């Protein structure tokens, strides 16, 4: 491992991050570079005005979770709310998504990534953003997976004339092997180098977004100004002689991982962990998650899930689950991307980001489609526009690192909403 190891969802993303490692950058430099580059190479999966979570393992200090996921706005309703559902054709079946200006939550990706760079980065920001800027100008070569996403998400991507021009430069959906360019986004990144996150969160772009969202949206200038990145202590659990660190409360994903591993280790101590045992643990975690979502006091229910009394209920339930044949569940649609990076010095970064499916509107002059997280079924279990105001939205994102005696051994994570 001369420079480090990288796993990501697109070759362009991986190459950009590896260039940073080869240039002397650390895992956190490479991760920030990778995410900004993925905003071009994986446009439908993430964006500058989406949200995310990074689990950082600096070799010389304690691990940190950087929570820059989306936040709920101060306002829940407006006259003529621009919020509607749109069908996406998956072939055998269609799925409905909710988009519009009324689906936009307070974004965190840009300020979160820049915050991480300021805390843990080693190379200048101009060097970190160089690959993303060049990719936005010259274009990212689209792979088969992204051709498919451009096709099925076309009703969202091409909802406006601006989207039509960006995503159908020749009047047709971009195909695999062709280049997707976004010069306005390159300009945005160049402005970020000059002004930092102030450009989006305390500057001209803040006012532009505020004006644009006034017609049917909930997001305001005040919401953007008040957004803050949250640093958390990771949740730690021991499993088979390793320490596993992951995303803590209030987001449920990491807690459910710890729950599943605890189920397996207590019910099958010393046994070889195979796919069936993992599936059983995951199934019980899903059952627990469903019960928590339906509980009135959701936060307390989740905090108690690892307590002995609460936990015994699921150990007993496992005997019943073992007697059942495991049914194959259909995966949810993917609208998230993930990067795992370890550098040669022993630093590790696990980062997951998303833009939902996008709200259908692009902020003029930026090439950035805003998120539609207020229209995501998973994130709104109490119904749309029935959330607590000015609060971090819950996420199942679970960037995870497995630590052995010599340091990080596995850097894990997954993109894909319901999955």
Is the pLDDT assigned to residue 329 strictly greater than 90? Answer: no
pLDDT digits (tens, 9 = 90+) for 268-281: 777 677 777 777 77
Burial of residue 294 (CB within 10 Å: 0-12, 13-18, 19+) is: exposed
Query: Is 316 within 8 Å of 20 (Cβ atoms)?
Result: no
pLDDT digits (tens, 9 = 90+) for 235-266: 999 998 999 999 998 888 888 888 888 888 87
Active-site amino acid positions: 336
d(CA 17, CA 7): 10
pLDDT digits (tens, 9 = 90+) for 333-352: 557 899 999 999 999 999 99
Query: Is 253 within 8 Å of 354 (Cβ atoms)?
Result: no
d(CA 34, CA 11): 10
Strand locations in 92-144 (E): 94-99, 140-141
Is the pLDDT assigned to residue 415 strictly greater than 70? Answer: no
Query: Is 85 within 8 Å of 97 (Cβ atoms)?
Result: yes
Percent of the chain exceeding pLDDT 90 equals 68
pLDDT of res. 322: 55
pLDDT of res. 326: 46
As given in the structure block, the two tokens for residue 386 are: 């029935």
Average pLDDT rounded to a whole number, residues 144-154: 94
In the block, tokens 């840009």 appear at: 110
- pTM recorded for the entire structure: 0.91
Percent of the chain exceeding pLDDT 70 equals 90
Query: Comparing 418 with 12, which gets the higher pLDDT?
Result: 12
| Axis-axis angle for helices 183-195, 125-138 (nearest 10) | 170
Average pLDDT rounded to a whole number, residues 107-126: 98
Average pLDDT rounded to a whole number, residues 317-321: 64
Q: Is 22 helix (H, G, I), strand (E, B) or coil?
A: helix
Is the pLDDT assigned to residue 365 strictly greater than 80? Answer: yes
pLDDT of res. 332: 47
406's CB contacts (< 8 A; 6+ apart) are none
d(CA 152, CA 325): 33
């Amino acid at each position: 491992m001369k420079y480090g190891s990288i796993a990501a969802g697109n070759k362009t993303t991986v190459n950009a991050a590896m260039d940073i490692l080869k240039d002397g950058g650390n895992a956190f430099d490479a991760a920030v570079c990778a995410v900004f580059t993925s905003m071009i190479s994986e446009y439908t999966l993430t964006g500058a005005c989406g949200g995310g979570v990074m689990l950082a393992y600096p070799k010389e200090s304690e691990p940190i979770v950087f929570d820059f996921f989306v936040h709920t706005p101060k306002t829940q309703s407006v006259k003529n709310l621009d919020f509607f559902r749109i069908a996406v054709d998956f072939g055998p079946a269609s799925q409905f998504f909710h988009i519009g200006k009324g689906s936009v939550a307070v974004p965190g990706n840009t300020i979160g990534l820049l915050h991480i760079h300021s805390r843990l980065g080693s190379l200048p920001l101009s060097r970190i953003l160089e690959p993303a800027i060049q990719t936005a100008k010259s274009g990212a070569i689209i792979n088969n997976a992204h051709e498919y996403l451009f096709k099925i998400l076309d009703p969202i991507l091409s909802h406006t004339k601006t989207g039509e021009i960006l995503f159908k430069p020749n009047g047709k959906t971009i195909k695999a092997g062709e280049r997707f360019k976004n010069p306005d986004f390159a300009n945005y990144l160049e402005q970020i180098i000059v002004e930092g996150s102030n450009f989006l969160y305390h500057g001209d772009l803040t006012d532009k977004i505020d004006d644009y969202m006034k017609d049917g949206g909930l997001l305001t200038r005040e919401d953007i100004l008040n957004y803050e990145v949250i640093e958390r202590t990771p949740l730690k659990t021991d499993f088979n002689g390793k320490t596993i660190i992951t995303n803590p409360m209030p987001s449920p994903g990491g807690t459910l991982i710890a729950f599943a591993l605890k189920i397996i280790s207590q019910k099958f101590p010393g046994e070889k962990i195979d796919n069936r045992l993992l599936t059983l643990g995951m199934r019980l975690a899903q059952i627990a998650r469903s019960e928590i979502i339906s509980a009135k006091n959701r936060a307390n229910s989740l905090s108690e899930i690892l307590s002995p009394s609460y936990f015994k209920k699921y150990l007993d339930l496992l005997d019943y689950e073992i007697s059942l044949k495991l049914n194959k569940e259909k995966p949810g649609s993917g609208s998230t991307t993930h990067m795992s990076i370890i550098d040669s010095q022993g630093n590790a970064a696990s980062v997951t980001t998303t833009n939902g499916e996008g709200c259908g509107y692009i902020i003029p002059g930026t090439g950035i489609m805003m998120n539609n997280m207020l229209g995501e079924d998973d994130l709104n279990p109490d119904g749309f526009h029935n959330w607590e105001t000015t609060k971090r939205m819950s996420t199942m994102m679970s960037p995870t690192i497995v630590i052995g005696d010599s340091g990080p051994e596995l850097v894990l994570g997954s993109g894909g909403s319901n999955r």
